[in-house]
Amino acid sequence: MLEIAIDADEEWDSSRPWDELARKAAAAAIAQSDYPELADTERAVEISVTLTGDEEVRALNAEWRHKDKPTNVLSFPMSNERDLSRSGPELLLGDIILAHGVCSAEAADKGVTVEQHATHLIVHGTLHLLGYDHHDDGQAEDMEAREIRALASLGIANPYEVTA
């Protein structure tokens, strides 16, 4: 049972169904991972999603990644591979934090809605929580392919495809 705890500050349009968007994005990412059973298990699987402003993300990025600037998404995993592959009590996958200003600007640059770009970032963040990364070309290609498949399952076009 996938549970999403969402916290959205005033910069994010409160009329949008962010909780539903986050749940669908996380489930799509999990389905494309090596742990697809986590999306349908009786075991409670929880992800915390925080939709906040650039300044909060900048502070977290400076503290945890030593980069004093806002970024689009931060992921803080709370589980390891052993936790993911066994049964047990509630599984806290971790935290995903999106910065509104960066997300909005990137969405405008890509010509997509903020909701579509936020969906992509939550898919990306969920894959990080599941142990995927993009430190080298092979990892980046694998993670990108998983993101593309997850987004396609949600009816969202390949965000990496360059259009002229």
Q: Where are the beta strands (DSSP E) in 30-139?
A: 45-52, 73-77, 91-99
CB 55 within 8 A of CB 70: yes
What pTM was estimated for this model as a whole? 0.94
Instruction: Please choose, from the candidates 94, 15, 84, the residue with its C-alpha nearest in 3D space to the C-alpha of residue 49.
Output: 94
CB 70 within 8 A of CB 102: yes
Domain boundaries, the chain: 2-153
Q: How far apart are CA 35 and CA 145, in angstroms?
A: 16
Spell out the residues 6+ positions from residue 145 whose beta carbon is closer than 8 angstroms to its own. Answer: none
Neighbours of 71 (CB within 10 A): 17
**The domain 2-153 belongs to what CATH superfamily?**
Metalloproteases ("zincins"), catalytic domain (3.40.390.30)
CB 98 within 8 A of CB 121: yes
Write out pLDDT tens, residues 60-106: 999 999 999 999 999 999 988 888 877 778 899 999 999 999 999 99
Q: State the number of CA atoms in the 13 A half-sphere of 71 facing the CB.
A: 17
pLDDT confidence band for 122 (50 / 70 / 90): very high
Rounded to a whole number of angstroms, the CA Rg of the chain reads: 15
Write out pLDDT tens, residues 106-120: 999 999 999 999 999
